[in-house]
Amino acid sequence: MHNTEKFMKSLRLSEIAKIVGGELVGAEDPVITGGAGIDAAGPGDLTFLAHGSFGRALADSQAAAVLVGPDLEVGIPAIRVPDPYEAFALYLELFLTDLDRVFPPGIHSTAVIDPTADVSRAQAIGPYSVIGPGTVVGAGSRLGTHVVLGSDVVIGDECLIYAGVILRENCLVGSRVIIHAGVILGSDGFGYFPGAQGIRKIPQVGIVEIRDDVEIGAGSCIDRATTGRTVVGQGSKVDNLVQIGHNVVIGKTCSLSAQTGIGGSSTLEDGVTTGGQVGIADHVKLGAGVKVGAQSGVTKSIEAGQTLFGTPAVDFKESFRLFANLRRLPELMNRVRRLEQGNGSGPDESEDNKHNVEGQG
Amino acid sequence: MHNTEKFMKSLRLSEIAKIVGGELVGAEDPVITGGAGIDAAGPGDLTFLAHGSFGRALADSQAAAVLVGPDLEVGIPAIRVPDPYEAFALYLELFLTDLDRVFPPGIHSTAVIDPTADVSRAQAIGPYSVIGPGTVVGAGSRLGTHVVLGSDVVIGDECLIYAGVILRENCLVGSRVIIHAGVILGSDGFGYFPGAQGIRKIPQVGIVEIRDDVEIGAGSCIDRATTGRTVVGQGSKVDNLVQIGHNVVIGKTCSLSAQTGIGGSSTLEDGVTTGGQVGIADHVKLGAGVKVGAQSGVTKSIEAGQTLFGTPAVDFKESFRLFANLRRLPELMNRVRRLEQGNGSGPDESEDNKHNVEGQG
Amino acid sequence: MHNTEKFMKSLRLSEIAKIVGGELVGAEDPVITGGAGIDAAGPGDLTFLAHGSFGRALADSQAAAVLVGPDLEVGIPAIRVPDPYEAFALYLELFLTDLDRVFPPGIHSTAVIDPTADVSRAQAIGPYSVIGPGTVVGAGSRLGTHVVLGSDVVIGDECLIYAGVILRENCLVGSRVIIHAGVILGSDGFGYFPGAQGIRKIPQVGIVEIRDDVEIGAGSCIDRATTGRTVVGQGSKVDNLVQIGHNVVIGKTCSLSAQTGIGGSSTLEDGVTTGGQVGIADHVKLGAGVKVGAQSGVTKSIEAGQTLFGTPAVDFKESFRLFANLRRLPELMNRVRRLEQGNGSGPDESEDNKHNVEGQG
């Protein structure tokens, strides 16, 4: 027998309704094979409508059924619940591998704990983890296999720290923080002084501080400050392979998609979001709620609430217009040619123009 | 004595001919100091011409000699063999460090193997590797140092898994798969629900499935699906530091260059290739054989067979033309100025134009 | 008591003057709370003026005080010293965690050292590090926790190798090299041969050579050569999550910012610098001192001394002008429209134009 089918199984919608404490709406009782957010849901999936959503959000969804709040009418099979998100999480958690299997409780006999460290309240420390002198792990926190905490690190309560995570000396982590495999916190910032005898290193003596409820994706790197602190604010979410430079300060509930890079000493105020592969220069400030589209490069400070795109990043509507205009250049060139030939009117029919007609909206 | 010269040594072309079972062509017998594909070959290198290639492919190559098939005539020293690629691999393998030195056979005494795991057919498990409950390693597979397999992982036969690789619970790996150092498979997808009390996590209960003959480069991260599977198809090759989001499905024999990032729930059909640092949005589909140039950003679904470039990515010929046109803008501006001054004809001689003459092809 | 205040403390400028062996200039004696380079310095920070700098460099700085050389007059509180950089490093090092705490001296009892390896001169080898057969570690070098050195690796003298670093077989590292956590050196290059039966791997039998005084940032990957060597030259600095392909040759004192990627077989001559997320194609050569702006994509060889920006990268002044011109397109379109309507003169006042006025410099 293969082990692949044991972690997810099909359920009737009515069974799910019982499990999440909701009420089946409508006559149909489809088989549900998975679940996803409303944008990602495919055939067979259960999805959910957040509080305040409208049923028409379902129009483009392939979902087989939906979890809805008290007052919403929808056109597909549904379960009515007080809090659709809570019910959805409850449904998915049916299939979540038990934390005690991923992080077996207790301190593994092979973990190397410095006698001056305090891990007495930790829920789990995995094989071959190494905890340095003066380090403290809070109540209920779980550390996986091969986790390395340097000296004088502080980890708060109820954290999950996956395999292979490395935190260097003096770094601080709040409570309910999730750090995924291979994350590196507190490596030296990239600070040099271009001297006469070559490039000379500026000692990096600050720390990294990760506040409560942050989640950091696999393989991401957050550098320690030159002096002071590199900060990731409460509730912010950082995706995989993200680079955060020294002395960066990130506010609350920001969301940084994969492979984003933030240059040294920049500030992101609360609620900033970046798409994948965004680059933000050093020494800039992004105001609260700024949204930066994927692959954009932000070269200067941006006021709160703006939505940006492109490199260099400008207002997304301007960016889209710039690109549309660029595609209209062949047409414009033809029009100028006609003017030069003394014929300034009428549509252009040249071959060059036809190639680009798609861009002329 | 330094150890750097022992892993590669110079050989006469005639000696190589003997080793690979081929016939020396021509009167010359140069000393060969290395080998490379035809594009990368430098002076002293042996290269090879694939079945179906033409000799003129050598015109731009600096190679000292070439391995050729039965029917091809070439203008440089050569060895004639039935299968040039096989012979070339045979030549390079002369210098490959023995696998038994890289992955010493047997299960190292420090490996922590859960009693419910089955590693009885593994060829090698390195020091301090940790194998979780219910996990199975196939026949002849070799795991290096510090490899972490979570619970209920399945690894097929004849795999090579290098140092520091982490696979989380329930993930599946086929046969003859090569996973390079520091790869992380099965970390949580970046899925959140923007609720009233902040950003809330969507449980990620799916898995990652890596099919037969895949190779994954160092430091790459492939996230587990929200539900269901994130898939890398048979024979696909993934370079270093690549990010593959949750629920992505990659077809057969795709090739993703370094630092490429693929957003959640996107699909790449068979034979898609990306250059370095390519970004692909979430929820898009790239048809079979689509090629995406380096650093491009694909924002929407693309039909099979297209070649794209730019951000947003468009047909590569259009992209190149757009850039050429952009460089011609100063000239166009001058022409409009002349028209406005009542002089619409003749070449423009302004300073502004001269700066851009290179772009006016 | 929280541990966060013990690694940095406020000092009077006069106290710092005593410690660094300098002379207090001016009547003020401010409290200094940190330090940073002149661009990054904020209120309370001590900064320094390099030899040959001018005092006016301070005009835009928020620094509270500055370390200056013998002949410079400045308008803010200062300490006069023979060598400002040395004095600044001395000040910061006050707060640097002692290396003996980060890398406790001696070979940890859990380190697995092959009997044919020579680590007799190493200063420190951390818990669970694994040293392969034939490998040599030089005098005074310190290896952290979970470091993996494959077979026949050579590490020079006085190196710092942080936790979780992996060097594969045969790689060479010079002296005074700093390798940050999670770096992977010597993984296979991404070399394949597109054969009839799918993608076939080209054996990668070369090595990586890291020369003296190099520093490599967390999570970066440098691939071994197909044959021969991938080289990082003396004194070069590589930031986090950088990808360096097989057979790349990097000269002396180059500086590669985070998430830069360099394609196979490319050459960077001495003193090349890249901003973050730069991509450099394979098989190109960047002449000495070339500077590449953040997120740029270099597609062809570049002569020494050039400064580039954009994708495809062109001279930075042209790149900025191209973008400014692009933003002037709506205005140009209006002017052409007016010409077509028989009205070629006078400023344009359309709404479209007003939106873009910012880009018309």
CATH number of C11-93: 3.40.1390.10
ipTM confidence score: 0.91
Inter-helix orientation angle C329-340/A316-327, to 10°: 50
> Is the pLDDT reported for residue B343 higher than 70?
no
Nearest to A218 among B132, B170, B184 (CB): B184
Which CATH number is A110-316 given? 2.160.10.10
Q: Which residues 6+ apart lie within 8 Å of C329 measured at CB?
A: A322, A325, A326, A328, A329, A332, B329, C356
At residue B234 the predicted structure's pLDDT band, cuts being 50, 70 and 90, is very high
Long-range contacts of C123-131 (CB under 8 A, 24+ apart): C126/A130, C126/C163, C127/A112, C127/A130, C128/A112, C128/A128, C128/A130, C128/A146, C128/B128, C128/B146, C130/B126, C130/B127, C130/B128, C130/B145, C130/B146
pLDDT in tens, B31-47: 999 888 887 788 899 99
Question: Given an 8 Å threshold on Cβ–Cβ distance, is A154 in contact with C4?
Answer: yes
pLDDT exceeds 80 at position C351:
no
Which chain A residue has the Cα nearest residue B135?
A3
3-state class of C330 per DSSP? Answer: helix
For B103-316, CATH number?
2.160.10.10
Q: What is the mean pLDDT of chain A?
A: 90
CB contact under 8 A, A36 and B227: yes
CB within 8 Å: A40 and B193: no
Percentage of residues in chain B having pLDDT higher than 90: 78
CA distance A273 to chain C (A): 18
Q: Which of C169, C221, C321 shows the shortest C-beta gap to B97?
A: C169
Give the pLDDT of residue B358: 35
Chain C residues lying within 8 Å of B97, measured CB to CB: 151-152, 169-170, 205
pLDDT band at A4 (very low <50, low <70, confident <90, very high): very low
Give mean pLDDT, residues A31-44.
87
No. of H helices and E strands in chain C? Answer: 6, 39
B chain contacts of residue A329, beta-carbon cutoff 8 Å: 322, 325-326, 328-329, 332
pLDDT for res B348? 44
Mean pLDDT (whole number) for A125-129: 98
Q: Per the CB < 8 Å rule, is C240 touching A191?
A: no
Query: What pLDDT is attached to residue C190?
Result: 96
**Chain C: nearest CA to A359, how far in angstroms?**
15
Q: Say what the pLDDT of residue B75 is.
A: 86
> Does pLDDT of A361 surpass 90?
no
| Confidence band for B73, pLDDT divided at 50, 70 and 90 | confident
Mutate to test the interface with B, among A45, A241, A252, A343 (most CBs of B within 10 A): A241
Give the minimum alpha-carbon distance from A133 to chain B in angstroms, rounded to a whole number.
Answer: 22
Instruction: Show which residues of B are catalytic.
Output: 246
Q: Select from C168, C169, C263 the Cβ nearest to the Cβ of B276.
A: C263
pLDDT band at B55 (very low <50, low <70, confident <90, very high): low
Confidence (pLDDT) at B4: 43
Residue-wise pLDDT for C284-310, tens only, equals 999 999 999 999 999 999 999 999 999
Q: What is the mean pLDDT of residues B15-37?
A: 93
B102·C152 Cβ contact <8 A: no
Q: What is the mean pLDDT of residues A67-84?
A: 90
The answer to whether B219 contacts C148, with C-beta atoms less than 8 Å apart, is no
The mean pLDDT of chain B is 90
**What's the confidence (pLDDT) of residue A9?**
79
Domain ranges of chain C: 11-93, 106-316, 328-360
Three-class DSSP labels, chain A? CCCCCCCCCCEEHHHHHHHHCCEEECCCCCEECEECCCCCCCCCEEEECCCCCCHHHHCCCCCCEEEECCCCCCCCCEEECCCHHHHHHHHHHCCCCCHHHHCCCEECCCCEECCCCECCCCCEECCCCEECCCCEECCCCEECCCCEECCCCEECCCCEECCCCEECCCCEECCCCEECCCCEEEECCCCEEEECCEEEECCCCCEEEECCCCEECCCCEEECCCCCEEEECCCCEECCCCEECCCCEECCCCEECCCCEECCCCEECCCCEECCCCEECCCCEECCCCEECCCCEECCCECCCCEEECCCCEEHHHHHHHHHHHHCHHHHHHHHHHHHCCCCCCCCCCHHHHHCHHHHC
What pLDDT sits at residue B353? Answer: 39
User: Residue B326: its chain A contacts at CB < 8 A?
Assistant: 326, 329
Q: pLDDT tens across A144-159, in order?
A: 999 999 999 999 999 9
- To the nearest whole Å, the CA of C117 is away from the closest chain A CA by 23
**Which of A190, A246, A298 is the best mutation test for C, with the most CBs of C within 10 A?**
A190
**Tens digit of each residue's pLDDT (9 = 90 or more) over B98-149:** 999 999 999 999 999 999 999 999 999 999 999 999 999 999 999 999 999 9
Nearest to A198 among C128, C235, C240 (CB): C235
> Would the CB atoms of A190 and C329 count as touching at under 8 Å?
no
Which chain B residues contact residue A127 at CB under 8 A?
Answer: 112, 130
pLDDT score recorded for residue C343? 67
Query: Which pLDDT tens digit goes with each residue over C313-345?
Result: 999 999 999 999 999 999 999 999 999 998 655
C221–B219 C-beta distance less than 8 A: yes
Please state the rounded mean pLDDT for residues C163-172.
98
The pTM (predicted TM-score) of the whole model is: 0.93
Q: Do B202 and A37 touch (CB under 8 A)?
A: yes
C106-316 folds as UDP N-Acetylglucosamine Acyltransferase; domain 1 (2.160.10)
Output the pLDDT for position B347: 47
Give A281's contacts in chain C (Cβ within 8 Å): 294
C246 is an active site residue:
yes
Distance of CA C288 to the CA centre of its chain: 17
Q: Report which of residues A241 and C347 the model is more confident about.
A: A241
Per CB-CB distance under 8 Å, the chain C contacts of B20 are: none
Per-residue pLDDT at A343 exceeds 60: yes
Residue C39, min C-alpha distance to chain B (Å): 29
Asked whether the predicted pLDDT for residue B6 surpasses 70, the reply is no
- Inter-chain CB proximity C97 and A198 less than 8 Å: no
Whether the pLDDT of residue A72 is over 90: the answer is no
